[in-house]
């Protein structure tokens, strides 16, 4: 290599070094936040799931995929910098359904892992393990936990991507229709672009009962959130304006209930009533303009919790 060529090569190497040096933790953090907050807004949503590979002898794949479309608005319920909560609200023909929520936490040291059979356990993570990473905890319509994963955002020209493995309960589309498996082993991937974001899932339907544990089949999930400007979300916006303070109290009640325990289990029903039904009664009061005290939420939740002492 002659001297001019060597000088050019050295210059390219130095430029690359300086470019990486300019990518400070602060700027990476702000890019992460921008990607998370870009998942808020108004969307037309498509949900698609299909079983792809049988993994257990004798199991036959379901031949009909699950396909649904809806309109959904995603609200920034909280943003304190290193903690962002996004609340999904489905709107179907004027009816509003409080859907799932995403709780993003930067360099979170405690991961809540689903263990199957309505039980979750906390796992403490090391400082190096979480450096520059975000946990995403997904919660149910009642704000009870579903699953949580840890991953780092990757930013490219025109897109941002986050992925993580997690164990999760049966999805709502199946848990009232099937009882032949117990949990999903999932790899989640969120990809955010300028006008949409995408949630890909690589799922394994896992059996875990009677001393046996084995995979039933593999499933592919692909959900698309495309931004819309001309859809009327008045009903969803009105619902959120009336109830968001109440749901903040519900989240705080869940958080307070978990404090002091490293494991939690939930009962499906108490006195033949689900927690969803009991909470629905409180939401109905809030929508009418009545005040619901935090103590009432605590009293409603307590019978459904099984909390062994921490340690």
The tens digit of pLDDT for each residue in 223-247 reads 999 999 999 999 999 999 999 999 9
Residue 38 lies in a domain: yes
The full DSSP string for 249-271 is HHHHHHHHHHTT-SEEEE-SEET
Q: Are 150 and 164 in contact (CB under 8 A)?
A: yes
The three-state DSSP-derived secondary structure of 150-219 is EECCEEECCEEEEEEEEEECCCCCCCCCCCCCCEEEEEEEEEECCCEEEEEEEEEEEEEECCEEEEEEEE
Residue 72 lies in a domain: yes
Residue 243 lies in a domain: no
Number of domains within the chain: 1
Residue 205 lies in a domain: yes
Report the relative pairing of strands 83-92 and 269-270 from DSSP bridges.
Answer: unpaired
Look up the domain containing 204 and give its range.
24-232
CA distance 298 to 255: 11
Q: Would the pTM of this model clear 0.75, i.e. be above it?
A: yes
Q: Has residue 25 got a pLDDT over 50?
A: yes
| Residue 23's pLDDT band (cuts 50, 70, 90) | low
pLDDT tens digits along 296-311: 999 999 999 998 865 5
Q: Are 177 and 21 in contact (CB under 8 A)?
A: no
Q: Has residue 174 got a pLDDT over 50?
A: yes
Q: Are 49 and 217 in contact (CB under 8 A)?
A: no
Segment (H or E) for 54: strand 41-54
CA distance 24 to 283: 44
CA distance 142 to 144: 5
Percentage of the chain modeled with pLDDT above 90: 85
How high is the pLDDT of residue 11?
43
Residue 150 lies in a domain: yes
Residue 301 lies in a domain: no
Give the CATH number of the domain where residue 59 resides.
2.40.128
Give the pLDDT mean for 31-43: 98
Residue 111 lies in a domain: yes
Residue 8 lies in a domain: no
The edge-to-edge listing of strands for the beta sheet with 119-124 is 110-116, 119-124, 263-266, 305-306
Give the pLDDT mean for 6-33: 57
């Amino acid at each position: 290599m002659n001297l001019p060529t060597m000088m050019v090569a050295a210059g390219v190497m130095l430029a690359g070094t300086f470019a990486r040096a300019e990518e400070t933790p602060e700027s990476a953090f702000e890019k992460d936040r921008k990607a998370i907050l870009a998942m808020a807004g108004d969307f037309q949503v498509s949900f698609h799931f299909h079983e792809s590979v049988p993994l257990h002898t004798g199991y036959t794949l379901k031949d009909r995929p699950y396909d649904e479309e809806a309109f959904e608005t995603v609200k920034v319920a909280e943003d304190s910098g290193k903690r962002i909560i996004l609340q999904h609200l489905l709107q179907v023909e004027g009816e509003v359904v409080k859907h799932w929520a995403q709780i993003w936490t930067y360099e979170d040291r405690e991961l809540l892992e689903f263990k199957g059979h309505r039980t979750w356990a906390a796992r403490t993570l090391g400082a190096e393990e979480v450096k520059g990473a975000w946990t995403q905890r997904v919660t149910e319509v009642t704000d009870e936990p579903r699953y949580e994963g840890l991953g780092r955002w990757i930013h490219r020209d025109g897109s941002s991507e986050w992925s993580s493995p997690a164990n999760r309960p049966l999805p709502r589309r199946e848990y009232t229709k099937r009882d032949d498996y117990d949990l999903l082993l999932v790899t989640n991937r969120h990809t955010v672009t300028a006008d949409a974001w995408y949630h890909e899932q690589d799922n394994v339907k896992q059996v875990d009962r009677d001393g046996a544990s084995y995979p039933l089949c593999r499933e592919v999930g692909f959900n698309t959130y495309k931004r819309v400007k001309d859809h009327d979300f008045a009903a969803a916006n009105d619902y959120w304006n009336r109830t968001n303070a109440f749901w903040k109290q519900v989240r705080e009640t869940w958080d307070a209930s978990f404090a002091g325990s490293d494991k939690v289990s939930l009962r499906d029903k108490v006195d033949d009533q689900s927690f969803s039904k009991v909470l629905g009664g409180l939401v109905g009061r809030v929508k009418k303009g009545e005040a619901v005290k935090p103590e009432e939420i605590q009293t409603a939740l307590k019978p459904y919790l099984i909390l062994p002492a921490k340690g």
